[in-house]
Amino acid sequence: MNARADTAVERPAPLLGDYYRSTECENAVDVADRKLAQAEALSQMMYGEEGKAFRGLGDDIQDNIHWLLSDLLGECRLYRRKARQEAANARMEAQS
C-alpha cells in the first residue's frame, strides 16, 4: 500500500455552485461587480409591479431580504475599497 494514500486528506465533494462562488481567482473589481449585479436583481423584485409579491410576504421575510440586500451592498463597498488598494499597490510597484 502506498504511504501517501494513508496520509492524504480527503476533501468533501464540491457543492453545486462552489466553483462559481469561489473568489480565489477573481479580482476585487470582478467580485464587487458580481455582488452589485446580484443586489440590483434582488432590488428589482422589491418595487413596482414585481414588488407586489414581495410586499405580500411576511414582515420577518421582508426584513431578512432587506438584510441580505444590505449585506450585498456592504460587501460591494468592501471589495471596491480592496480594488482601489490593489490598484494603488500596483502603481507603487510600477514606479519602483
Residue 17 lies in a domain: no
DSSP annotation of 48: T
Residue 56 lies in a domain: yes
Range of the domain at 57: 27-95
Residue 20 lies in a domain: no
SS (H, E, C) 61-74: HHHHHHHHHHHHHH
Q: How many domains does the chain have?
A: 1
Residue 51 Cα distances to 45, 56, 67, angstroms = 5, 8, 16
pLDDT confidence of residue 26: 78
pLDDT confidence of residue 50: 87
| Cβ neighbourhood burial of 59 (10 Å; 0-12, 13-18, 19+) | exposed
For the chain, residues with pLDDT lower than 70 are 1-25
Residue 19 lies in a domain: no
pLDDT confidence of residue 24: 60
Residue 43 lies in a domain: yes
pLDDT confidence of residue 88: 93
Sign of CA pseudo-dihedral 20, 25, 28, 30: negative
pLDDT confidence of residue 20: 53
